[in-house]
Chain A
């Protein structure tokens, strides 16, 4: 597998970040960075990462099943994550999540038919003082109301 030149440069820097003989440390960051480009952790990606790091594929699989941000199924182009953990719940994060379900017509970890959006109810994302919070891919949005959520989603739809 080959990746974009930017990603290849990033992976090279990554592989040089650990002491000699400690290449396995690069495993989780490499999965995160490559997943961003490939869209999900495919069987070919598992083999490629295992080959680059020099470990058996089973050691890659072990890690993929453990971490919640690594997924084998492709998510939507815009992955909408709504926090319903305690500080967000106190600002009606649960209602916001329900609203997102209705707005997108999908549920937890589902993808819209056109592949544009996916939705996930997530745990605390470190935005508790500006609740309720959502993340779309890696972008944070704070103090999100139902109206603001509609606006965010509608503006992403227009991007197509």
Chain B
């Protein structure tokens, strides 16, 4: 089911079958070009498939933006150990709700992407790691996988071509940190989701210490169209250095919130005003987050002239991230927003390294104080200092993800923190382990 109307400005490549009757069924999929790219890939060598993906300039859609073709090229050609395909369907970066749309409406696209990836690296089994809250998607995927087995697209001797590939779903159980690739692998092995020391990277020692391709759902879903169109043509959908289209989740204060497939390099202004129907209530945009709450925050003025791609966002001091666009209008209380974001990271810190575990807890405490109007000017400085001191000092990027938005909000909206400072000093209760909303 689609939860929002499509926009005429979309370029529908990955989402082209969305909205067809029974789009999740294998009949609809096959009647509309499904598995054709996989069949084409059976005629290609491993190097040819990887080269097309390299030519497409596809970069990982999970948030980090690593070039996908290069990642696949890191797997050893000859390996005494089995190789694995792992799909990151943990989707839990606040602001992001796109993988869900793809899986719900076209699960066979993901299966086809996994099959092509498996062909490219010589993997015989794959796991789709789905966040625990998305149980209904596991049912949809299991049904689709069953259909693919019965039609001979999965299992032994696929399509009579001597290729074997088995695909399984695997549920998570509620932990943001398990979206981080090495923590995900730990979780998939039945352990707590604590990240691993790298190198070695998953391409060399991933699942069960075997060579593993690990990508986001949308990344795999892009592969069939790359094989169909050819890498160079697919790259041409976007801009140089950032190929193709990206599913973009418009969230927050826009009129037409929703998930839209837009070419890379799409102008922010057009995205908000034309695709999104403008800021809610005709208000001004105060703040903009391009791709999930882990990205540094931009002011409205900074964001309007930009385009939605890796380089444009990097030049502006932030990141394209996961595609979860968060738009805040002039009525937004930035202190409260900073606190809500920190509340999340403090809750999700796996507790392994001290700067992250203690830093997020302290920041949450300070921000709570400031938000309640009982903080001091020193607290504002301390928030900035603490956040700066966490940067680059943690084991996995969650520490940075907590520090970056906070540091940018304090720097860019300091006046809002100052406006809330205490007039008289009073003690504040300890807020650790309390929910965000105190009733």
Which residues of A line the B interface, CB within 8 A? 17-19, 22, 24-29, 31-33, 53, 59, 62-63, 66-70, 84-87, 89-91, 94, 97-98, 101-102, 107-108, 121, 123-131, 135, 138-140, 142
Contacts and interface: CB of A to CB of B under 8 A. Distances in A.
A129 B97 contact: yes
Given A24-B190, A123-B348, A84 B340 contact: yes
Interface of B: 3-4, 82, 91-97, 99-100, 125, 131-136, 168, 170-176, 187-193, 208, 249-253, 257-259, 293, 324, 326-328, 332, 336-337, 340-341, 344, 347-348, 350, 435-437, 439
Contacts of A131: 251, 257
A87 B3 contact: no
A123 B125 CA distance: 32
Given A28-B187, A89-B340, A128-B251, 19 more contacts: A25-B188, A28-B172, A29-B171, A33-B171, A53-B190, A67-B132, A69-B174, A87-B324, A90-B253, A121-B436, A123-B94, A126-B133, A128-B95, A128-B324, A129-B3, A129-B258, A135-B133, A139-B136, A142-B3
A108 B249 CA distance: 29
A29 B191 CA distance: 12
A84 B173 contact: no
Contact of A28 (B173, B250, B326, B344): B173
Nearest to B193: A66
Contacts of B336: 89
Contacts of B191: 24, 62-63
A84 B94 CA distance: 10
B287 to A, nearest CB: 10
B322 to A, nearest CB: 11
B344 A124 contact: yes
A102 B171 CA distance: 33
A29 B176 CA distance: 17
Nearest to A67: B173
A84 B343 CA distance: 10
Contacts of A130: 3-4, 97, 257-258
A138 B348 contact: no
A108 B171 CA distance: 25
A92 to B, nearest CB: 11
A129 B4 contact: yes
Contact of A126 (B97, B125, B171, B188): B97
Contacts of B328: 90
Given A128-B97, A130-B4, A123 B326 contact: no
Nearest to B341: A86
Best-buried of B82, B173, B344, B347 by chain A (most CB within 10 Å): B173
Contact of B170 (A25, A66, A90, A125): A25
Contacts of B97: 126-130
Given A24-B189, A69-B173, A138-B133, A129 B259 contact: yes
23 contacts: A17-B168, A22-B189, A28-B170, A28-B172, A28-B187, A63-B191, A66-B350, A69-B133, A70-B173, A84-B340, A86-B337, A86-B341, A87-B251, A89-B340, A94-B436, A107-B439, A123-B176, A124-B344, A126-B92, A128-B326, A129-B249, A129-B250, A139-B136
Contacts of A22: 189, 208
Contacts of B136: 138-140
A97 B437 contact: yes
B208 A86 contact: no
Contacts of B172: 28, 67
B260 to A, nearest CB: 9
B132 A32 contact: yes
Contacts of A102: 439
Contacts of A69: 132-133, 173-174
B96 A128 contact: yes
Contacts of A138: 133, 135-136
Contacts of A87: 94-95, 251-252, 324, 326
A49 B92 CA distance: 27
Contacts of A125: 133
Contacts of B131: 126
A22 B84 CA distance: 14
B173 A124 contact: no
A67 B134 CA distance: 15
Q: Which 3 A-B pairs have the closest CB atoms?
A: A69-B174, A67-B173, A27-B190
Contacts of A66: 175, 192-193, 350
Nearest to A85: B94
B436 A86 contact: no
B86 to A, nearest CB: 12
Contacts of B93: 124
Nearest to B258: A129
A123 B347 contact: yes
B170 A32 contact: no
Contacts of A18: 168
Contacts of A108: 435
Best-buried of B3, B170, B327, B439 by chain A (most CB within 10 Å): B439
Contacts of B135: 138
A90 B439 contact: no
A98 B208 contact: no
Contacts of A24: 189-191
